Amino acid sequence: MQPAWPVPETFNAATYFVDRHLEEGRGEAVAIYFGDAQITYGEVARRVNQVGHALRRLGVRLEERVALLLLDGPEFVYSFFGAMKIGAVPLPLNTLLQPPSYAYILNDSRATVAIVSQELLPQLAPVRRALRYLKHLVVVGTAEAALSFWPWIEGEATALEAEPTSKDDMAFWLYSSGTTGMPKGVVHLHHDMSFALEHYARGVLGMHAGDRCFAIPKLFFAYGLGASLYFPFGVGASTVLYPGPFAPPTVFSLLQRYRPTLFFGVPTAYAALLAHHDAPEDLSFLRLCVSAGEALPPALYQRWRERFGVEILDGIGTTEAAHIFISNRPGRVKPGASGEVVPGYAARVVDDEGREVPPGEIGNLLIKGDSVAPFYWHQHDKSKQTFLGDWYATGDKYMRDEEGYFYYVGRADDLFKVGGQWFSPAEVEALVMEHPAVLECAIVGAQDADGLVKPRAHVVLKPGVNPSPELAQEIQEHVKQRVAPAYYKYPRWVVFASELPKTATGKIQRYKLRQEATA
Ligand code: 3UK
């Protein structure tokens, strides 16, 4: 099979990820498992072409954005590659946002067409009049999805010549949810998916045509887009798509039904699956599991391995980098580490002046690799702060050990100093969460009577446990004992809350907690 990297100067990603399979004789191979449907690469290619024609008929031109507000399913795939194939720019939207966020993103991106799942239409209706640039709304009905029949493209020609785009033309955008401010349009180019495919999916996961992928993160998320779509499609493997929300029983029944070889989740999902008591013991069809999105606690890695006999590879990726660039490798996992640099990428840990810091010291993580976005859409200052020539500043604090493993310490903007020493919220949150009464915890810096910054813990208790000053004190003692003699790390305040503020992708919004006054 043709390697994915390097790509030629004239390169349309839709031809590599879809059409190539027909030329290489995989037209009859299953690309997508969706409910009872098994959709072949040949069928996908024809539908992609029909969407391309239908979009042109609506007047969509080169470089115009086509928003996709779609539940996971075949129409997402057809629309994503169909838009790309005519040189337009698909823009998958998070399906969990509130109406004002859709108005913001649709106006900011100036998408002219939106392809929307019927179930999600009510999310757009309230802001319909605020949309300045949207001209057409294409609706995907529930019944159509189940039948794999789509009246909008019915009758369109099934052959389509790809727009001869440059490898450096815009291919797709994703709005990064971020933990602060308005979402930013991350612009990705036609060559970006190929770079991530070659170096991470093939290089680290050893992906091949015999694999079957199943991912908890949805296609609108950079993590899910690679895991459920362009990684399997890049190697001629198959993917399992599911439109609904995931609860542990659903995940286990889908695992048993489709028997995937690769499974992708976030740490919270692994925790929920482990906590589910009816868990079947046999997941031996899984070759590897991947965790990303936030740090995977070592205890989860161990428990998963003991229960199911398969490794979880923790790795860090970002929307800006398209996918994972530091990852554990099969057979050489260090629990608690994000892993080693993915071959093909480079990583540096630097101080605020850009000087590399020695192993064991905390610094800012910089990444180099050709899957990294060139800029944020019309955000000149934010782009300059983030994309520094060859290097991209992830905004994460990291530590490297002597053997080249990287350890996540916290977001740059969540980290703070206590008594002149760096304080890692992640480290102490893990200790608070060991307390049997605690369900969730987030720690932020708060000012004491002297105006000095000290750690404050926001704690959600397990159902049935009541907050009390005694319990707060007990939690403080619990941490003190474990951090001794680094007592500066224990939380000076414990604030009980019924829930923590989170972004649509589940990241805790610590800036909101920081704004709260200390009692
Ligand atoms: C954090 C991690 C510790 C980190 C993502 C493609 O999460 C993805 O993209 P986002 O833009 O968020 C990026 C930020 O999330 N993070 C991600 N992975 C880890 N922190 N350990 C990890 N393993 O702050 C990063 O800057 O939403 C995108 C592919 C995989 C992904 N996880």
Distance 387 CA to ligand 1 centre (A): 17
What is the DSSP code string of 433-458?
A: HTSTTEEEEEEEEEE-TTS-EEEEEE
Q: Are 325 and 341 in contact (CB under 8 A)?
A: yes
Tens digits of residue pLDDT in 259-281: 999 999 988 788 889 888 676 67
Distance 292 CA to ligand 1 centre (A): 6
Identity of residue 122: P
Ligand 1 pocket check for 292: Cβ under 6 Å: yes
Q: Are 102 and 235 in contact (CB under 8 A)?
A: no
Tens digits of residue pLDDT in 311-327: 999 999 999 999 999 99
In the chain, what are the domains? Answer: 13-198 (3.40.50.980), 416-518 (3.30.300.30)
List, in sequence order, every residue forming a beta bridge with 410; answer none if it has no partner.
397
Indicate the pTM of the whole model: 0.90
Q: Report how far residue 219's alpha carbon sits from residue 206's, in angstroms, rounded to the nearest whole number.
A: 21
Residue with tokens 């000076």: 492
* Angle (nearest 5°) at CA 394 between 392 and 321: 65
Both structure tokens of 150:
């789509």
74-85 helix and 41-57 helix, angle to the nearest 10 degrees = 60
Helix (H, G, I), strand (E, B) or coil at 193: helix
From 316, 349, 415, 424, give the residue whose CB has the most ligand 1 atoms within 8 Å, as the site to mutate: 316
Q: Report how far residue 432's alpha carbon sits from residue 346's, in angstroms, rounded to the nearest whole number.
A: 34
User: Nearest Cα to 76, choosing from 177, 15, 11, 150?
Assistant: 150
Q: Report how far residue 327's alpha carbon sits from residue 178's, in angstroms, rounded to the nearest whole number.
A: 22
Segments of the chain with pLDDT less than 50: none
Burial 391-419 (b: 16+ CB within 10 A, else e): bbbbbbbbbbeeeebbbbbbbbebbbebe
Residue 517 DSSP label = P
Distinct helix (H) and strand (E) counts, the chain: 16, 25
pLDDT at 332: 97
In the chain, the largest separation of any two C-alpha atoms, in whole Å, equals: 73
pLDDT at 179: 53
Q: Are 394 and 445 in contact (CB under 8 A)?
A: no
Ligand 1 pocket check for 413: Cβ under 6 Å: no
Both structure tokens of 256:
């048993």
Identity of residue 274: L
pLDDT at 142: 79
Q: Where are the alpha helices (DSSP H) in 376-447?
A: 380-386, 425-433
Pairing outcome for strands 340-341 and 324-327: antiparallel
Ligand 1 pocket check for 316: Cβ under 6 Å: yes
pLDDT at 146: 62
Cβ-based neighbours of 97, under 8 Å, separated by 6 or more: 105, 123, 504
